[in-house]
Amino acid sequence: MYYGATQTSKGILNSMTNSPKKVRVSPWPKHDERKRERNLKREAVLHTAVEMFNEKGFHSTTLDEVADALNVTKPTIYHYFSSKDEILFECVQLGLQGILDAADAVEKRGGNGLERLKALMHDYVIIMTRDFGKCVTRTADHELSGESRIQFRALKREIDAAVRRVVMAGLQDGSVAVADPRLVTFCISGALNWVARWFEEDGKLTAEEVAHSYVEFLVNGLAPRSS
């Protein structure tokens, strides 16, 4: 009996050894897939929240409303963000980073100072017609927490410096003639930022039309041209 059992065990072992190897498929996604899925969900929260912030205001928007719009619960939102303040800061950061990226692209594009300034103003306006750009202008400093407020102001100073560099480049190559580069920078930034206050996607003018007109106004002024 013992011998027979041993033979049987050997037979089972042999069959297991000779059988094709099974490929085990995990029901859990891989790390890269989990990361991509998490990023997509974070982006969905940001896009939904920024629309509400722009329409209703930060303080009048609740995370319950954001969660309802996404068909999830509020605790789900907290899985991706620690607070409403963090969501707001990421929204304005995305808008400001878009302007910095545009400034960087203009620098790499080349051309004289005026050409680069016109390109930067155009792209700046386009950003201000979009949700994250609108959020930058429509968010007051005091609406952010202390640490977020410090970072918010620092990013704004970076943008001011980026615009001023282009103005200064125009002064140096003679394509721009202004008496006070600092004042001109404030004027340009103020005018472009204000687009976010009034632009509507379903309005009479497209973002491109607004961008073109603003560049013309700011570069050529309002006085009629002499023949």
Tens place of pLDDT per residue across the chain (227 aa): 444 555 555 554 555 556 566 667 767 677 777 778 888 999 999 999 999 999 999 999 999 999 999 999 999 999 999 999 999 999 999 999 999 999 999 988 889 999 999 999 999 999 999 999 999 999 988 899 888 999 999 999 999 999 999 999 999 999 998 889 999 999 999 999 999 999 998 989 999 999 999 999 999 876 676 65
- Is the entire prediction scored with pTM above 0.85? no
Counting Cβ atoms within 10 Å, is residue 88 exposed (0-12), middle (13-18) or buried (19+)?
Answer: buried
Q: Report the CATH architecture of 92-220.
A: Orthogonal Bundle (1.10)
Provide the CATH number for the domain formed by 32-81 in this structure: 1.10.10.60
Burial of 159 (0-12, 13-18, 19+ CB in 10 A): buried
DSSP state of 208: H
Q: DSSP assignment of 3-59, as one string?
A: HHHHHHHHHHHHHHHHSPPP----SSPPHHHHHHHHHHHHHHHHHHHHHHHHHH-TT
Gap between the Cα atoms of 1 and 40, Å rounded: 63
Query: Rounded distance, CA 61 to CA 138, Å?
Result: 14
- Residue 42 CA to residue 37 CA, distance in Å, equals 9
The domain limits of the chain are: 32-81, 92-220
